[in-house]
A and B are shown apart, each in its own frame.
Chain A
């Protein structure tokens, strides 16, 4: 089938072109970050400057306390996830396996969180954080995300697929609800938990506007806000090498994780909406 082979070739070419265009920003950011700061792209070799230097990275490291921001990002993402694991497991089980008056209405209310994302209600949520006296604390970043409609839906679906006979058998053996969860439902739902964890971590790791609004001091601000500081402190047209170095510092941790667990990441992102 020559027609098919011809289109296969065209497909390869289109993929390579799209792929290279998509990679270009990252590649040029890397090149720019190791280029001597006084050598703009328009001078000399477009790809690399006269030498490769770490000057930009050293300068970027001085602008913001990156280790502190990194730690804050870890605390933020982990603090959200740990509480979420409890809340979504409880609610996921209730919506999957229990019948009670008002179940559908309550589920609908939870689902509203998907349609009206927390970040859109900036003004009121900011006011709530202030009246809870949480402004400029780690808790202010995390607390709005402690209930997760996405997680509840995902676990509800997953728990429903667990054969009910397994729960019954455990009950007959005298297992408590906690033991049933721990020995039956949770072990059988590990892939769903992993997916949820990956989606939760990467979305909070990358969050900017909310942390930017509810914090003021560097002691609690995550990486994305540190990056913003670098951006606003570098004068327009100057210091792009330094900005690129800072950007790479900020995006590197999640990237390394992705490269290690590429498959899991892609599968998890793909389940973040299906069903």
Chain B
């Protein structure tokens, strides 16, 4: 359409043209505002208030007191919160540290010619399809004390039983392993896609130049997979931060919060009215850390690409 025809349009038609894009976006925007933007802002606001004893009375503005309490070791929630926060960080970085390299290994193994490749791809990918709560209930059985598979195997080797979900020293590692098992195969897909985008002749050229397999991996595969790695790191961290459903089946954060994670802790405290200020403050901290991860990851990648 040229300018001359559009200026001859009636005002109704021009209004319609102006409004049209916004009307198309409106349905999406309504739900994003209602369930993401508004609650995000409201969470921050409510984190500065202490709820009144009775529902009829207004909440009291307390400034940063909720945050201070959360880090106060003598406070009834603060005494637990620091532990849960540290657990969440250990859990997230632990999951990433194991699942991302494992995903790369799986992708490299599956990007070769091998008999029954479809079956082996299925074998590492299927956990991604399970509901987290279902995956965790499988593992609750494997980890269980008397009849669990892992302890049965240990006994077969003459080793003592381990109370995987009951021992404060093993609970977090046990929960991390379930997450690694569940998500490595999913992350593998992104590496596999990345590997398949690398032109074959690059390797042939490297072969001719006498580069060995390790050198090809180190100087060809890894750098060319940088974008995949970045993407996998971001989703792995964000997933780890919000996947807590497994705790419902894996001892519910016990013993003594040694296996507890933030979002689950928030859920545990959502019912009691007096905790609402704290629960909002915890959500702010959770979302804050989540945003720091995503944004810093993006900045680092932009820099790297600008330097090249």
Residues of A within 8 A of B (CB): 3-4, 7-8, 11-12, 14-16, 18-20, 22-26, 28-29, 32, 40-42, 46, 86-88, 90-91, 93-95, 98, 100, 103, 106, 109-110, 112-113, 115-126, 128, 143-149, 152, 202, 205-209, 213, 223-224, 227-228, 231, 236-237, 240, 243-244, 246-247, 250-251, 254-255, 258, 262, 265-266, 269-270, 273-274
Contact = CB atoms under 8 A, between A and B. Distances in A.
Q: How large is the interface on B (under 10, 10 to 19, 20 to 34, 35 or more residues)?
A: 35 or more
Interface of B: 18, 20-22, 24-25, 27-32, 34-40, 42-43, 46, 102, 105-106, 108-110, 112, 114, 118-135, 137-142, 144-149, 152, 155, 181, 185-186, 189-190, 192-193, 212-213, 231, 235, 238, 241-242, 244-245, 248-249, 263, 266-267, 270, 276, 279-280, 283, 286-287, 290-291, 294
B298 to A, nearest CB: 10
Most buried by A among B20, B28, B114, B294: B28
Contacts, number: 260
Contact of B134 (A93, A128, A227): A227
B39 A125 contact: yes
A212 B119 CA distance: 34
A116 B192 contact: no
B131 A273 contact: no
Nearest to A258: B129
Contact of A143 (B25, B35, B128, B137): B35
A160 B135 CA distance: 39
Contacts of A243: 137, 140-141
A120 B139 contact: no
B235 to A, nearest CB: 6
Contact of A224 (B134, B238, B294): B134
27 contacts: A14-B105, A18-B105, A22-B126, A24-B149, A25-B127, A29-B141, A90-B28, A91-B27, A91-B28, A113-B32, A118-B35, A120-B290, A121-B35, A121-B287, A123-B279, A123-B280, A144-B34, A147-B27, A208-B131, A209-B244, A224-B134, A237-B146, A243-B137, A244-B138, A247-B137, A270-B189, A274-B190
Contacts of B126: 22-23, 26, 255, 258
B192 to A, nearest CB: 7
A119 B124 contact: no
Given A4-B213, A124-B280, A147-B27, 18 more contacts: A11-B109, A12-B114, A25-B142, A116-B291, A121-B287, A123-B270, A123-B280, A124-B42, A128-B35, A128-B38, A144-B31, A208-B132, A208-B245, A227-B131, A227-B133, A266-B121, A270-B193, A274-B193
A223 B42 CA distance: 32
Contacts of A119: 242, 263
A23 B241 CA distance: 26
A145 B27 CA distance: 12
A113 to B, nearest CB: 5
Nearest to B110: A15
B20 A121 contact: no
A7 to B, nearest CB: 6
A25 B146 contact: no
Contacts of B141: 28-29, 32, 240, 243-244
A234 B155 CA distance: 25
Contact of B249 (A4, A91, A116, A231): A231
Contacts of A122: 263, 266-267, 270, 283
A118 B29 CA distance: 14
